[in-house]
Structure 1
Amino acid sequence: MKKYIFNLFILSLLFAFTACDEEFVLEEAPTAEEASFDVATSSKGENYVVFTNNSGGFIKKWDFGNGASAEGSEVEAYFPFEGQYEVTLTVYAEGGSVSSSQTVDITTTDPTICNVEFLELLTGGCDQTEGKTWVIDAERSGHFGVGPPNAAGPDFYAAGANEKEGGGMYNDEYTFILNQYQFVQETNGDIYLNPAQESNFPGAFEPSVGDRKAPYEAPENINFSISENTEGQAVISFNNNGFIGYNTGVNTYTILSISENEMFIRFDDAATPDLSWFHRLIRKGYAPIEAGFSVETSELTATFTNTSLNAESYSWDFGDGSTSVEESPIHTYAQDGTYEVTLTVTAPGQSAEITQEVSVSAAPKVLPFTFEENDTQFGTFGGTVFNVIDNPDPSGANTSARVGEFVKGTEFSFAGLALLLDEAVDFSENTTLSMKIWSPVATNAILKLEAAGDPDTFTEQNVSIPAANEWVELTFDFTGAQNNLRNLVIFADTDNNNGGTFYIDDIAFATESADAITLDLLTGENGKAWMLKPGPGSFGVGPAKGSDEFYPNGADISGERPCLFNDLFIFKTGGQYEYDTQGDIFAEPYMGLDAGCTDDTALEGTDAAAWGPGKHSFSLTPATDIDPAYITVRGTGAFIALPKAYNGGEYGSAPPNMDATVKYEVLDYFKNASGEELSLTIDVSGDGSAFWNFVLVPAN
């Protein structure tokens, strides 16, 4: 680039050759005749003009009408562009000064200026008479930033994509026109500026994106000039206070790089010399391509989200020999590891690439296996096929969403499944395992445990499957089993070699099951903390028991209200009940607070203080053959899940009633290998038309 800039520097200067100095004596004011001058075409070509004045003035200043000037008795001016120029000479003598003007007619544009690469990139060249318009590259990060003086980039801070939207900078346009080195600065009514320049722009104010925004219309008569700094870099300067982008009080910009579609510039800070600012600009209408992606992993599976800009095709290399051309693929790796994933994106005439490291690891192979959050793959033998699928019959003993499908092979009757666990099964505290199974026939199932690498050391339990075509839960008693058994083997229908499709789920240590709440189940051994179950259907109001049709109508609000879903409702022996906020609450207007998560200290000293953390009492009324179970809490501000709900109504404002009781009906309860849930409902209408419903699970 240096040679182009140097040539430009030569072209843009007007060279003056002054005569020898003379000694002058005091005389009368110069006459108009003394300011007359001769005009002649230079031998260099018709775009070079020689101006001569032979008067006795001691200073002779020339204005060539194209933004350039010179001084001397004989000067040569360069007029690269076709047009008429008014050339003015001012002669200074001992007695005063006098001026005269002539019009110079340049009939052709110098073709050599059309071949200067830098000017063509900046302005579009001679053929693009309307010039070339540049805008801030707002959609890509790094389009604006700050760093140390003379840095190559914004080391201190770089703006993210569209970070300064609304600041008054992204709607600006900057047009460079080669003819007469014109610059058109279109602000569209406002600009973005450094706070130190606020006094120079009336009406400046602080926008939501920081710094200052001000109303401003740029003048129409702005020109640019090109020079070269000591580093050989092009420098653009503007007259009439022209500037680009973020105003820092300067009008000179160093071009760090320029191409057909992008330009990267650096400029000083008039108020803070220790800083340099940066902009990346793009040609107006240009849609730069950029590769980008985010990734979420779950065990060995990586889910990729493509965040690329302006791309039309995609090519993924997952780092394990696998590829994809999908926009946002999902890829499952064969084994644990860290892989270099490369995304290459293309658009007409453009391509971009990004590489990131992605780490995956399989779920630990330990009990229990529920298939809900991971797709644990069992090994097979005897022609058996295994897959994790959606539950084909979510009913009865198993309503979970995902299960293992076990298509038994027919190579021999003991075809089945095997899985080497990461650690041996520990029978020191519980010797009973359970497994849910769906079988096409009433037959048998065998659960076998072997020592790793030693199939001759094993123990197994053979139990009956009592019913066909429905889920049943089987238990396997391994009393007396060794604690070095790691290989889990499953057989079904071993008396026959007919194949068949079986489904399995919830392979775990057996737990005591129950379908009715008792005081011991509610309070545990030394007190038991319950909390709202994360997920849809656990907190809501509707026209019937268990319904959330009024709100939130099936939506999962646990992510919106984390301060509600972390609350603890603690039941202790002796009828003690405690509410623990975990330090925050979901505030609502009836408490006198703005809606949203806030520290529980916001309740202190207010009429709603009783709804904060505190200790109360409770009682459990067991279910009968006719009536359901009820949990009643007592005390000022005592509640479960929702402070405003009470029997027959809702509080519209604080404070709550003194020493009140609130009675909740136990709508459902279960405890089994899948977990434990307590469902409560309360009629807040008094007439059975509106019920708040909650699903609680043990906090631990």
Structure 2
Amino acid sequence: MKRIIQVACLLLILAACKKQTASLENPIDPNTVNIIVQATSTPNVYRFINAQIGKTAVAKWDLGNSSTATGDTVLGKYPFKGDYVVSLTVFNGITAVTKKVNLSLTSDNFDLDPVYGLLTGGAGAAAGKTWVLDSLSDGHVKLINNNSNTPWNKLLKTGKGVYDDELNFKLANKEVVYKNNNSSYCHGGTIDGIAQYRLKELNANWGTTTSATADGGDLQIAYTPNKPIQHWTMQVRNGKHYLQLYDGAFFFFYRGQADVIEYEITSISENEMVVTHYENLPASRASLLWRDVYLVIKKGYVRQ
């Protein structure tokens, strides 16, 4: 009998210590749902805590940096300076309650995003990192839409002003230099009834073309970018990196855009990178989901 009483007492104690969560009978006051923000020892890394820790169902977070998380305590990493809105959503026993907090960062911490280092060589690479087309691989350029996939086989465009082109990216000042040895390659067909549409667009927004030689539906051009040193920026959207080029630089085959051209970094490693350009001008090409895929490698890299 004594042992039975002891067990019963233990069960009562455990029941009393059991975590009390929100319920219809005992809802949490929405005004007490808040976010606790803690800086960590790493710049631009913050800890976010559900102020009702242990009292709600699973806490769901939108960290404002294209990332989401669950749990009462989560970490947010912010490689780029700027303003972010962090939101927490919990169930208070009756309904979902969302609270938000603003986070303002005045400096970058590129070490938090390896893509920056892989693209440029990192802060320690004063000379930057140079990329070229992988001309020795089949499919180093693929021109794709809803109905077709046209790859360039290895060395297909030898002597056409494309394989000697280089893009040098630096982390400092986000500089990029498009070295084309005075010759580039450009989409040059008739689009929407406008003869040599891309060439006109290129001259209007990107640089100066002094001559053009037809190569099928495209053009080999004598081209000089608007500025001797061009620039780049990068955005992360829905977990993907998007690289924007300005001032006359592009990935080796001009396929169209206004005064900035954007590429999705589809994959990247120390020696290889795949970038995809989704065409949005003119509307006739955007409607067919034209995208252009480029396989590039670090200059000097030789596949084994």
Q: Distance in 2 between matches of 1:162 and 1:118?
A: 28
Which structure 2 residues correspond to residues 289-688 of structure 1 after superposition, within 5 A?
A: 289=304
Question: Which of 116, 119, 126 is equivalent to 2:116?
Answer: 119
Displacement after TM superposition at 1:278 (Å): 1.1
**Alpha-carbon spacing, 1:240–1:10, altered in 2? closer, same or farther (3 Å):** farther
**Mapped partners of 2:175, 2:236: distance in 1:** 19
* Pair 1:176-2:204 in alignment: no
Amino acid corresponding to residue 283 of structure 1 in structure 2: K
Partner of residue 276 from structure 2, selected from 266, 272, 278:
266
2:23 alignment counterpart: none
Residue of structure 1 aligned with 2:183, choices 190, 209, 213: 190
**Which residue number corresponds to residue 222 of structure 1?**
230
TM-align CA RMSD: 3.0
Alignment partner of 1:15 is 2:8:
no
Cα drift, residue 226 of structure 1:
1.2
Deviations 1:611-646 (A, max 9, x none): xxxxxxxxxxxxxxxxxxxxxxxxxxxxxxxxxxxx
Match of 2:126 among 124, 129, 134: 129
Task: Supply the AA of the counterpart residue of 1:234.
Answer: H
1:90-124: CA deviations, max 9, x gaps? xxxxxxxxxxxxxxxxxxxxxx4235311111111
Secondary structure of residue in 2 paired with 1:129: coil
SS in 1 for 2:139: coil
Structure 1: how far apart are the matches of 2:172 and 2:264?
22
Q: In structure 1, what is the Cα distance between the partners aligned to 2:184 and 2:273?
A: 20
Partner of 1:238: 245
Q: How far apart are 1:220 and its partner, in Å?
A: 2.7
* Structure 1 residue identity aligned to 2:173: Q
Could you report, residue by residue, the CA deviation over 1:270-298 in whole angstroms, capped at 9, with x for unpaired residues?
23212111110000000123xxxxxxxxx
Does 2:267 correspond to 1:254? no
Shift of 1:148: 2.2
Q: Decide whether aligned partners of structure 1 residues 138 and 198 sit closer, same or farther in structure 2, where only a CA change above 3 A counts.
A: same
CA distance in 1, matches of 2:112, 2:81: 18
Counterparts of 2:211 and 2:107, CA distance in 1: 41
Q: CA deviation at 1:10?
A: 4.1
CA distance in 2, matches of 1:284, 1:245: 14
CA change 1:158–1:227 in 2 (3 A) is: same
**Deviations 1:591-623 (Å, cap 9, x if unpaired)?**
xxxxxxxxxxxxxxxxxxxxxxxxxxxxxxxxx
* 1:206 Cα offset (Å): 3.1
Query: Comparing both chains, which one has the higher relative contact order based on Cα–Cα distances under 8 Å and sequence gaps of 6 or more?
Result: 2
Percent identity reads 22
Do the aligned residues in 1 keep the contact of 2:167 with 2:177 (CA within 8 Å)? Answer: yes
Rounded Cα–Cα distance in structure 2 between residues aligned with 1:223 and 1:208: 29
* 8 Å CA contact 2:187, 2:217 repeated in 1: no
Deviation at 1:265, TM superposition (A): 1.0
| Shift in Å, 1:263 | 0.6
Q: Select 1:159's aligned residue among 152, 156, 170.
A: 152
* TM-score after normalising by structure 1: 0.26
Provide the C-alpha distance between the structure 2 equivalents of 1:164 and 1:16, rounded to a whole number of angstroms: 45
Q: Distance in 1 between matches of 2:131 and 2:222?
A: 21
> Matched residues in 2 for 1:13 and 1:249: separation?
30
| Contact 1:248 1:268 (8 Å CA) reproduced | no
Letter in 2 for 1:178: L
Contact 2:79 2:111 in 1 (8 A): no
Q: Distance in 2 between matches of 1:194 and 1:11?
A: 36
SS in 2 for 1:206: strand
Q: Distance in 2 between matches of 1:213 and 1:263?
A: 24
Residue 277 of structure 1 aligns with which residue? 292
- Whole-angstrom distance in 1 between the partners of 2:126 and 2:174: 11
Cα offsets for 1:56-86 (capped at 9, x unmatched): xxxxxxxxxxxxxxxxxxx966344xxxxxx
Three-state SS of the structure 1 residue aligned to 2:224 is coil
Can you list the C-alpha shifts for 1:450-486, whole angstroms capped at 9, x where unaligned?
Answer: xxxxxxxxxxxxxxxxxxxxxxxxxxxxxxxxxxxxx
Task: Give 1:9 deviation, angstroms.
Answer: 9.4
Q: For residues 220 and 13 of structure 1, what CA distance do their matches in structure 2 show? A: 27
Q: Distance in 1 between matches of 2:161 and 2:140?
A: 15
CA distance in 2, matches of 1:209, 1:247: 15
Larger % of helix: which? Answer: 2
Structure 2 gap ranges (5+): 1-62, 68-75, 86-102, 189-196, 204-208
Check 1:247–1:239 CA distance in 2 against 1; reply closer, same or farther (3 A cut): same
Measured at CA, do residues 191 and 113 of structure 1 come closer, stay the same or move farther in structure 2, by a change above 3 Å?
Answer: same
Return the letter of the residue paired with 2:157: K
Structure 1 residue 138: Cα displacement: 0.7
Structure 1, unmatched stretches of 5+, are: 18-74, 81-111, 290-700
Residue 36 of structure 2 is matched in structure 1 by none
1:167/1:207 contact within 8 Å kept: no
Supply the AA of the counterpart residue of 1:116. Answer: D
Task: Give the Å deviation of 1:160.
Answer: 0.7
Code of the aligned partner of 1:256: T
How many residue pairs match? The answer is 193
Q: Distance in 2 between matches of 1:193 and 1:208?
A: 10
- TM-score, scaled relative to structure 2: 0.56
Residue pair 2:77, 2:112 contacting (<8 A) in 1 also: no
- The aligned counterpart of 2:193 is none
